[in-house]
Structure 1
Amino acid sequence: MSLDKLVESHYDQLNEIDLYIWQYIYHHKRECQKISIHELAHACNVSHTSILRFTKKLGLDGFSELKVYIKWDLSQKSEFTPQIIDDACNGLSNTIEEMRHSDFTSIFDKLTQAEHVFVYGTGIVQNHMAKELKRNFLYSNKVLHIVGEGVEIDTVLNNVTKDDLFIIISLSGDNEDAVTLARALKGLQVPRIGIAKSNRCVLSQYCDEMITFKYDTFKLDTADLRYGSTAHFFIIADLLFLKYLEYLNEQK
């Protein structure tokens, strides 16, 4: 079993500190293969006992066995098989059906009542989705403000109120910037909607509502990269707007 699958199978046992440790390991596997437990603890800004507790929750004997899993992950070759195409198509179909049958009334209530709606994306694809949402909702005369596109987060946080709404887009839902933003907004009592690949993420703990989708990746031969279809973001952007039009029609 890969380390990713091992973490997924024990996800319900992990707390916020555990998820931050995992986030660092996930994005720095090659470095973590060589560092000591104290160096990893320093990088994650936690104690070495927190690292040990994290490994125990995964059912591992300790840090040494964790490094064995990391080394095994890095040694794997490309996992591509024709089945991956079928899985990707099924995943996109599932996202479409989930969007078709989901009730977004509470989200749309917040959207229509908000004085200002801000959208924040954690990466390139997420920012593209933010732009799609902005473009789509302009057709209904609803203006969305993209944070980070000429609008700095600090400036927004100094002026945002509980009458506004924030949409936070993050693939993993464990992105540190996204979680930090959501936590700050929660403290300010600003309504928050998260968009991520799963409800089982740190972001979900700080958002009022979550829109999620199933996202699978496979390893490429190129360095330590993994690939997964990001079309889910754009399916959600389109169907969320269509469902919003349906909502507006029902309100009439």
Structure 2
Amino acid sequence: MKLDELINKYHKQLNENDLYIWNYISKHRKECETLAIDQLAHKCNVSRTTILRFSQKLSLKGYGELKVYLKLDNEKSKENVNNVEAVCDAYNEVIKNIKEKDCTDIFELIDKSRTLYVYGIGMVQSSIKKEFKRTFLTAGKIFYDLSGYTEANAIVDLATDEDVFVIISVSGENQFIMDFAKNLKIKNIPIISITKLKDNSLAKLSDYNLYTSTALIPSIYNDIDFESLTSYFILIEILFLKYMEYKTQKNKKEEKHEIGNVD
């Protein structure tokens, strides 16, 4: 698990000092990798105890483990001149993360929900939504594909806490998406977010987070960089396969329970 993911997961437990510390670390990742706890405390104008508590709020044993996570993140984010290798590394990271992730809570939420929605803004998000909808339809799960601003605002008024929204955002910082998500949270409507694995506002606000890794390839022929987004489709496919395994195991347990009652 990356530091950005821990920040998203435990964001509600962080106070103003904690967020200031993280802001400094995120902007000086390479420098902080070598700083002693007293040095970081001095740069953030807080006590060493505050740094230690910040680390512990992220479920880490202490500052030493935080530095280990930071070093691993820095090693993974080093510029890779081999574009093919960079893209393959991004795919492998997504596969590893979703394969190891316990998605039971997400699947239980999907199964018990009255209505399922998938929402995102933009051409890329539109393709991802369609794939999400198409894939889960195979399992008999119908996700209603929401498009645009007007439709989203209208649905908020109709939705209840028995529904669930899957919100797709590459950056996790789109202002309308954030306002939309906040309106859902006011009504206690569960949100599953799909974003890039980084510190982002949507992930912090969501009940459940799914992450992708992408590779940004600098342009050679024009001013437009290429960002590989296939990892979103890889994530959806493996998530679906895990859901099918979950359903299979659930059905076996129910059958075993029924046989036990007959006996």
TM-score by length of 1: 0.65
Q: Which runs of 4+ in 1 moved over 3 A?
A: 221-224
Q: Report what 2:22 is aligned to.
A: 12
Q: Report what 1:166 is aligned to.
A: 165
Q: Report what 1:106 is aligned to.
A: 105
Q: Deviations over 1:151-193 (max 9, x none)?
A: 8112201100000000000111112222121111111110000
Q: Report what 2:156 is aligned to.
A: 157
- Structure-2 separation of matches of 1:244 and 1:11: 38
Unaligned runs of 5+ in 2: 1-19, 25-43, 45-78, 252-263
- Structure-1 separation of matches of 2:179 and 2:216: 26
Q: Which has the larger radius of gyration?
A: 2
Q: Report what 1:134 is aligned to.
A: 133
Report the count of equivalent residues: 180
How far residue 96 of structure 1 moved from its aligned partner, in angstroms, is 1.1
- Structure-1 separation of matches of 2:196 and 2:133: 21
Q: Percent identity?
A: 27
Q: Report what 2:232 is aligned to.
A: 233
1:58-137 correspondence to structure 2 within 5 Å? 83-137=82-136
Q: Deviations over 1:52-82 (max 9, x none)?
A: xxxxx9xxxxxxxxxxxxxxxxxxxxxx975
Q: Report what 1:212 is aligned to.
A: 211
- Alignment partner of 2:194: what SS? strand
- Structure-1 separation of matches of 2:217 and 2:176: 25
Unaligned runs of 5+ in 1: 1-9, 15-56, 58-79
Q: 1:11 to 1:163 in 2, by over 3 A?
A: farther
- Structure-2 separation of matches of 1:237 and 1:11: 34
- Alignment partner of 2:228: what SS? coil
- Alignment partner of 2:98: what SS? helix
How far residue 218 of structure 1 moved from its aligned partner, in angstroms, is 3.2
Choose 141-150 or 152-161, whichever is displaced more. 141-150
CA RMSD of aligned residues (A): 2.5
TM-score by length of 2: 0.63
How far residue 215 of structure 1 moved from its aligned partner, in angstroms, is 2.2
